[in-house]
């Protein structure tokens, strides 16, 4: 029997990694007198584009906004279909509906949790205009296959890179040499956190120009500058746009988080490697499968339990972890299980078998740069203890 002893202090599932550098940049911003979109947002866009190796970056107040705008820049709307994955957060699909188009779901590759290109091909009709692949958890989708399908059928690709800052496909950072767009999230739990925030990147000048207009109330160029000396009070609204822009307090966090990103990533990688090595030795759970073409960002550590080897299911496993003071989450309850989607599209059990099987097995474990070594070891010991107690 193991000698596992439950710790007193709860290990949260996630914590942001904020230092004096971020705090000082925010207070400097407050003291500067410019708190709306302005110089820091512009600088963050430049620095971010340079980091991922994209020509243009447009900062927004969320990834949801960026995903919406990405489709709008391509004129996608009523009567169109857009293919995406059910294993994602709702906004990937909701933003398709917000354009007036219809989301069409394609099942995942069970090994990676990412959308399966073969399933995409099956869902293409004469109405299909775009694909929104999600780099799930920081894995990357099989991009060569996806872009090959897109070229063949003349489809736009809007990569949902909410989890994929620092992910690489065949050695190349997501966002680098893009043929479509990539949209990142800076929500509090993300690898780079600004509380809420997002970024759309593209190598296409026209897409970037439209993204700026759609995300900035449809205003003509540089209208943000209209209150500065030398700025002009005149502006045009050339589209009925959205109030989606980032502002400088968010960008202040973003600038300093970006400067510390490589250091934070190294810590994530170390934890993920320790988890991978230890969970591979435990008969009853399965560490994530990472294909050769993926450099994982380790935004999420999604452990799968193997119910065929255990007397408890995933939900009970989470209760057992919680009883041992380990915080968890589940990414994701499939979008196709949500009432807004089942009511609208009539989805039923068995429609997306790989996604359903994956969902029944997954638990997101704590993984963040400020985790202490003993906390990482404790999470491993807690998982081992549960598997030992509930092994068939
Ligand atoms: C896969 C995915 N796409 C999009 C989003 C939306 O991101 P945001 O909260 O920045 O709008 C999330 C949020 O976590 C996500 O997980």
Say if residue 20's pLDDT is above 90.
yes
Among residues 213, 237, 99, the alpha carbon closest in space to that of 156 is found at 99
Say if residue 73's pLDDT is above 60.
yes
Confidence grade of residue 226 (pLDDT, cut at 50, 70, 90): low
Give me the half-sphere count of Cα atoms (radius 13 Å) on the Cβ side of residue 24.
4
Query: Where is the domain boundary, 259, 292, 324?
Result: 259
CATH of the domain at 291: 3.90.1150.10
> Three-state SS for 198?
strand
User: Residue 156's beta-bridge partner residues?
Assistant: 130
Query: Where is the domain boundary, 259, 282, 311?
Result: 259
Top-confidence residue, 155 or 1: 155
Say if residue 225's pLDDT is above 70.
no
> Three-state SS for 116?
coil
Nearest-CA residue for ligand 1 atom 16 is: 89
203 in a structural domain:
yes
217 in a structural domain:
yes
CATH of the domain at 218: 3.40.640.10
Residue to mutate, 61, 69, 91, ligand 1, most ligand atoms under 8 Å from C-beta: 91
Q: Please identify which of the residues 37, 129, 190, 210 carries the catalytic annotation.
A: 190
Chain CA centroid to CA 140, Å: 11
Q: Are residues 208 and 313 in the same domain?
A: no
Q: Are residues 201 and 284 in the same domain?
A: no
What tokens appear for 375 in the block?
A: 């906390």
Task: State residue 32's pLDDT score.
Answer: 96
* Residue 252 CB partners (closer than 8 Å, separation 6+): 22, 25, 26, 28, 29, 40
Among residues 249, 263, 297, the alpha carbon closest in space to that of 59 is found at 249
Q: Are residues 253 and 266 in the same domain?
A: no
Q: What is the pLDDT of residues 253-285, one digit of tens each?
A: 999 999 999 999 999 999 999 999 999 999 999
Q: How far apart are CA 23 and CA 341, in angstroms?
A: 41
Task: Indicate the number of domains in the chain.
Answer: 2
360 in a structural domain:
yes
* Residue 315 CB partners (closer than 8 Å, separation 6+): none
Say if residue 222's pLDDT is above 70.
no
Main-chain phi, psi angles of 266, to 5 degrees: -60, -35
Decide: 357 and 108 in contact? Cβ < 8 Å.
no
Residue positions counted in the chain? 392
Q: Are residues 357 and 249 in the same domain?
A: no
* Residue 4 CB partners (closer than 8 Å, separation 6+): 324, 381, 382, 384, 385
**C-beta atoms surrounding 171 within 10 Å:** 8
Q: Are residues 177 and 118 in the same domain?
A: yes
Give me the half-sphere count of Cα atoms (radius 13 Å) on the Cβ side of residue 287.
18
Q: How far apart are CA 288 and CA 285, in angstroms?
A: 10
**C-beta atoms surrounding 128 within 10 Å:** 21
Among residues 118, 121, 85, 119, the alpha carbon closest in space to that of 103 is found at 85
Ligand 1 atom nearest to CA at 332:
16
Q: Are residues 225 and 312 in the same domain?
A: no
Q: Are residues 273 and 199 in the same domain?
A: no
Q: How far apart are CA 166 and CA 176, in angstroms?
A: 11
How far away, in angstroms, is 319 Cα from ligand 1 center? 26
* Range(s) of the domain holding residue 279: 261-389
Ligand 1 atom nearest to CA at 189:
14
232 in a structural domain:
yes
Using CB distances shorter than 6 Å, the residues near ligand 1 are 62-64, 88-89, 91-92, 134, 160, 162-163, 185, 187, 198
10 in a structural domain:
no
Q: Are residues 126 and 36 in the same domain?
A: yes
Strand arrangement of the beta sheet that strand 172-173 belongs to? 172-173, 168-169, 294-295
Decide: 181 and 199 in contact? Cβ < 8 Å.
no
Q: Are residues 49 and 139 in the same domain?
A: yes
Nearest-CA residue for ligand 1 atom 8 is: 63
Q: Are residues 220 and 138 in the same domain?
A: yes
Q: Are residues 118 and 202 in the same domain?
A: yes
How far away, in angstroms, is 203 Cα from ligand 1 center? 22
What tokens appear for 306 in the block?
A: 């193997």
Q: What is the pLDDT of residues 327-368, one digit of tens each?
A: 999 999 999 999 999 999 999 999 999 999 999 999 999 999
1 in a structural domain:
no
Task: State residue 2's pLDDT score.
Answer: 58
- Is residue 190 part of the annotated active site? The answer reads yes
Handedness of CA 356, 361, 367, 371 (dihedral sign): positive
* Residue 158 CB partners (closer than 8 Å, separation 6+): 67, 70, 71, 74, 130, 131, 132, 180, 181, 183
Task: State residue 1's pLDDT score.
Answer: 54
User: Which single residue is written with the structure tokens 């243009």?
Assistant: 56
15 in a structural domain:
no
Q: What is the pLDDT of residues 102-119, one digit of tens each?
A: 999 999 999 999 999 999
Among residues 68, 69, 75, the alpha carbon closest in space to that of 95 is found at 68
5 in a structural domain:
no
Q: Are residues 158 and 43 in the same domain?
A: yes
Query: Where is the domain boundary, 234, 259, 284?
Result: 259
Determine the Cα angle at 57 with ends 161 and 129, to 5°. Answer: 55
Share of the chain above pLDDT 90, in %: 94
What string of DSSP letters covers 304-365?
EE-GGGBSS-HHHHHHHHHHTTB--B-S---GGGSHHHHHHH---TTSSHHHHHHHHHEEEE
Task: State residue 231's pLDDT score.
Answer: 72
Q: What is the pLDDT of residues 175-213, one digit of tens each?
A: 998 999 999 999 999 999 999 999 999 999 999 999 999
Decide: 334 and 352 in contact? Cβ < 8 Å.
yes
């Amino acid at each position: 029997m193991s000698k596992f002893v439950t710790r007193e202090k709860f290990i949260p599932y996630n914590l942001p990694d904020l230092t004096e550098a971020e705090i000082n940049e925010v207070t400097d911003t407050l003291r500067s007198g410019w708190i709306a979109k302005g110089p820091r947002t512009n600088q963050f866009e430049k620095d971010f584009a340079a980091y991922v190796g994209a020509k243009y970056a447009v900062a927004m107040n969320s990834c949801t906004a960026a995903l919406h705008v990405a489709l709008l820049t391509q004129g996608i709307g009523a009567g169109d279909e857009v293919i995406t994955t059910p294993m994602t957060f709702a906004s990937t699909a909701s933003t398709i509906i917000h354009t007036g188009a219809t989301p069409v779901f394609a099942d995942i590759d069970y090994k990676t949790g990412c959308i399966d290109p073969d399933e995409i091909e099956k869902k293409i009709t004469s109405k299909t205009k775009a694909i929104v692949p999600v780099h799930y958890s920081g894995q990357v989708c099989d991009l060569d296959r996806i872009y090959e399908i897109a070229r063949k059928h003349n489809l736009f690709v809007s990569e949902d890179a909410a989890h994929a800052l620092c992910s690489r496909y065949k050695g190349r950072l997501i966002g680098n040499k893009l043929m479509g767009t990539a949209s990142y999230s800076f929500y509090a739990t993300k690898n780079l956190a600004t509380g809420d925030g997002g970024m759309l990147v593209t190598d296409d000048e026209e897409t970037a120009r439209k993204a700026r207009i759609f995300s900035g109330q449809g205003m003509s160029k540089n209208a943000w500058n209209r209150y500065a000396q030398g700025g002009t009070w005149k502006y045009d609204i050339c589209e009925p746009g959205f109030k989606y822009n980032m502002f400088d307090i968010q960008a202040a966090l973003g600038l300093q988080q970006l400067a510390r990103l490589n250091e934070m990533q190294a810590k994530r990688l170390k934890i993920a490697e320790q988890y991978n090595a230890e969970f591979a030795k435990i008969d009853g759970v399965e560490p994530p499968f990472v294909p050769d073409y993926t450099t994982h960002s380790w935004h999420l550590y999604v452990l799968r339990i193997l119910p065929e080897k255990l007397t408890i299911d995933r939900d009970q496993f989470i209760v057992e972890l919680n009883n041992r003071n380990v915080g968890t989450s589940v990414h994701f309850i499939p979008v196709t299980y949500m009432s807004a989607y089942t009511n609208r599209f009539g989805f039923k059990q068995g429609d997306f078998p790989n996604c359903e099987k994956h969902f029944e097995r997954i638990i997101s474990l704590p993984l963040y740069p400020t985790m202490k070594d003993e906390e990482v070891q404790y999470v491993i010991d807690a998982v081992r203890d549960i598997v030992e107690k509930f092994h068939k």
